[in-house]
Amino acid sequence: METNRRNFIKHSAVAAAGAVAMPAVMNAGCSSPNEKITVGLIGCRGMGFSNLSSFLKNKDVECVALCDVDKRVLEPRAAEVEKLTGKKPIMYGDFRELLDNKDIDAVIVGTPDHWHCLQMVYASEAGKHVYVEKPLGNSIEECNVMVAAQKRYDNVVQVGQWQRSHSHWRDAVDYIHEGNIGRVRSVKAWSNVGWKKSIPVIPDSEAPEGVDYDMWLGPAPKRPYNKNRFHFTFRWFWDYAGGLMTDWGVHLLDYALYGMNEYVPKSIMSVGGKYAFPDDAMETPDTATAVYDFGNFGLVWDHTIGIYGASYNSRPHGVVFVGEYGTLIVNRDGWEVVPETKSVSKRESYEGIQLQAAAGNGLDFHVRNFLDCIKNRNMKPNCDIETGAHIARFAHLGNIAHRLGRKVNWDGDKQQFVNDVEANEMVKANYRAPWTLPKI
C-alpha cells in the first residue's frame, strides 16, 4: 500500500464520485495585483466573522455581502462591517443569491460542517474562489466530491486550518524530518476542553423569529428546532458535525501525520463515550481515545471535555512525537524538545531544545496566503483542498470506528473499509430532499 499523501489523495480523487476530467470553466478574480478582492461571507456568527475580520485587515479586500439564516446575527454583523469599512454590505438570507452576485470574487464559508460541501461546490461552480472552514466536509464522500469540484473549476480553495500558515509548526516538523530526535515510534495528539460544561436536555420549541430554520437544516435530517442543536453547539450532534475529533482533531492530527510523513493507517479503533456528562444533550463523546496503526508506529488521538489535563506542563492541546533521543512537543504557543536522559537509546550530550515561541497571528497569515494565491495563480495555498480533504477523512475514520464500537481496517488505495459493509455505509453523505450531493 502506498503511504505518501500525494498517492493517498490521488486515489481519493479517483474514488470521488467518478470524477471526469474536464477543462476549467473559469479563472476567477483579480487579474491585477493592485485590484481589490471583493468577498462575501456565508455564516456570520462565529468563526465566519472572525475570518472576515482577518480579511478586512488587508487594504486590498472589500466586503460586498453577508449571508446568514438568522437575522438576529446578520443585521448586527452588517452594522459592524459598515462601522469598520464605511460601507454597508448587501444582506442575504439565501446563500445562492449571494453566489449570483457577479461583483464577488471570493466567498468565505463559515457555516456549520454539514453545509460546507454544497456551499463550496456551488461557489466554485459560480466562479468564486473559496475560503472554507474546517473540517472540509461532514463525511468522507463529501470530501471526495469537494476535491473533484476544485479540480474541475480550477479555483483557489483555502481550507481554514490556519496552523498550516504559522511557521513554528513547520519548524517543528522540519526538526523531526532532519532526524534530530531519532526514530519516532509513538505519536500523540490531544485536546482537553476544560471550559466546556454540560449541555442540559431541553424540550424542542418553535424556531426564533427571524430564523430560517429549514434552510439552516439544509441537507441534514428534518428535526424540530432545539436550541442545543443551533449555533455554536451544533458541533456536538452527528447530523451536523463530528464533535472534538473533527473540530480540534483536524488541526492537530494534520501535523501528527505531517511530522511522520505517513498518511494511510492500516486499522483504527476507538474507545470512549459520554463519561463526563452521561445524561446531557450531547451526542458526540466527551471522552475518547482513537488509535491509528500504521504498522511501524502508532498514532493516538485523545480528547476530554470538562478537564484540561495536567500532562506536558498543563498544555490543553498539542502534538507529541516520542523519539529515541527526545520528545518534541508542539502546540499553538510554540515547540520544544525534552531530551531522553536515562533510556538505552539516549544520545550523549543532547540537550534538547528550549521553547521556541510562536510569533504573529496564524489566521492573519493564512488569509494573506489565500489572497496572494488569488492574485498569483502560480502560488499554492498553504492548506489546499487536498490537504484539507485528507485530514477530514482521517478524522472521520476515527469517528466511524467509535460509532461502530470496534476495530476497522482501511484500504487507502480503494478508499473503503476492508470487507465491512456497515462501515462503508458510514462513508456516504445522506442528504434530505430537495438537496442532493453534487455530481462532479
- What's 22's domain CATH number? 3.40.50.720
Q: Is the dihedral of CA 272, 275, 280, 286 positive or negative?
A: negative
E-only strand ranges, 114-171: 129-132, 157-159
Q: How confident is the model at residue 342 (pLDDT cuts 50, 70, 90)?
A: confident
The Cα–Cα gap between 206 and 376 comes to: 48
The pLDDT value given to residue 33: 59
Of 334, 308, 37, 13, the residue nearest 169 (C-alpha): 334
Indicate whether 48 and 179 sit together in one domain: no
Q: Which of 340, 359, 378 corresponds to the end of one domain?
A: 359
User: Which residues contact residue 408 at a Cβ distance below 8 angstroms, ignoring those fewer than 6 apart?
Assistant: 267, 268, 269, 397, 400, 401, 417, 420, 423
Kindly tell me if the per-residue pLDDT of 25 is higher than 70: no
What integer is the mean pLDDT of 397-413? 96
The Cα–Cα gap between 188 and 193 comes to: 16
The pLDDT value given to residue 34: 64
Indicate whether 90 and 214 sit together in one domain: no
Kindly tell me if the per-residue pLDDT of 198 is higher than 90: yes
In a domain, 406, yes or no: no
In a domain, 430, yes or no: no
Indicate whether 159 and 300 sit together in one domain: no
CATH number at residue 351: 3.30.360.10
The pLDDT value given to residue 29: 55
Q: Is the dihedral of CA 234, 235, 236, 241 positive or negative?
A: positive
Q: How confident is the model at residue 313 (pLDDT cuts 50, 70, 90)?
A: confident
3-state secondary structure of 410: strand
* Max Cα distance, the chain (Å): 68
In a domain, 438, yes or no: no
What integer is the mean pLDDT of 22-27? 37
Rounding to the nearest 10 degrees, give the CA dihedral for residues 243, 246, 249, 254.
180
In a domain, 401, yes or no: no
Indicate whether 177 and 108 sit together in one domain: no
The pLDDT value given to residue 348: 85
Q: How confident is the model at residue 349 (pLDDT cuts 50, 70, 90)?
A: confident
The Cα–Cα gap between 183 and 203 comes to: 53
pLDDT in tens, 271-295: 999 999 999 999 999 999 999 999 9
* Total domains in the fold of the chain: 2
Indicate whether 156 and 281 sit together in one domain: no
Kindly tell me if the per-residue pLDDT of 30 is higher than 90: no
Is the full-model pTM beyond 0.75? yes
Kindly tell me if the per-residue pLDDT of 249 is higher than 70: yes
The pLDDT value given to residue 6: 41
pLDDT in tens, 222-236: 999 999 999 999 999
Q: How confident is the model at residue 413 (pLDDT cuts 50, 70, 90)?
A: confident
Domain encompassing residue 308: 167-359
Indicate whether 177 and 291 sit together in one domain: yes
Indicate whether 217 and 241 sit together in one domain: yes
pLDDT in tens, 61-78: 999 999 999 999 999 999
The Cα–Cα gap between 215 and 224 comes to: 13
Q: How confident is the model at residue 26 (pLDDT cuts 50, 70, 90)?
A: very low
The Cα–Cα gap between 49 and 32 comes to: 27
Lowest-pLDDT range of 159-173, 284-298, 311-325: 311-325
Kindly tell me if the per-residue pLDDT of 55 is higher than 90: yes
Kindly tell me if the per-residue pLDDT of 16 is higher than 50: no
Q: Which of 342, 359, 376 corresponds to the end of one domain?
A: 359
Indicate whether 323 and 176 sit together in one domain: yes
Q: How far is CA 46 from the centre of its chain?
A: 15
Lowest-pLDDT range of 101-105, 337-341, 343-347, 381-385: 343-347
The pLDDT value given to residue 128: 98
DSSP characters over 330-361: EETTEEEEEEPSSSTT--TT---EEEEE--S-
User: What length is written for the chain?
Assistant: 440
The pLDDT value given to residue 75: 98
Mean pLDDT of the chain: 92
In a domain, 396, yes or no: no
Classify residue 392 by its DSSP letter: H
Kindly tell me if the per-residue pLDDT of 14 is higher than 90: no
Name the pairing type of β-strands 416-417 and 90-92: unpaired
Angle between helix axes 116-125 and 140-153 (nearest 10 degrees) is 10
In a domain, 109, yes or no: yes
Indicate whether 160 and 248 sit together in one domain: no
The pLDDT value given to residue 9: 40
DSSP characters over 191-255: EEETT----------PPPTTB-HHHHHTTSPP----GGGSGGGGGGSTTT--HHHHHTHHHHHHH
Indicate whether 155 and 202 sit together in one domain: no
In a domain, 379, yes or no: yes
Kindly tell me if the per-residue pLDDT of 207 is higher than 70: yes
With cell 471526495, the residue in question is: 144
Q: What is the identity of the amino acid at 83?
A: K
What integer is the mean pLDDT of 241-267? 97
Indicate whether 256 and 344 sit together in one domain: yes
User: Which residues contact residue 258 at a Cβ distance below 8 angstroms, ignoring those fewer than 6 apart?
Assistant: 173
Kindly tell me if the per-residue pLDDT of 334 is higher than 80: yes
The pLDDT value given to residue 345: 86
In a domain, 426, yes or no: no
Indicate whether 12 and 159 sit together in one domain: yes
What integer is the mean pLDDT of 175-197? 95
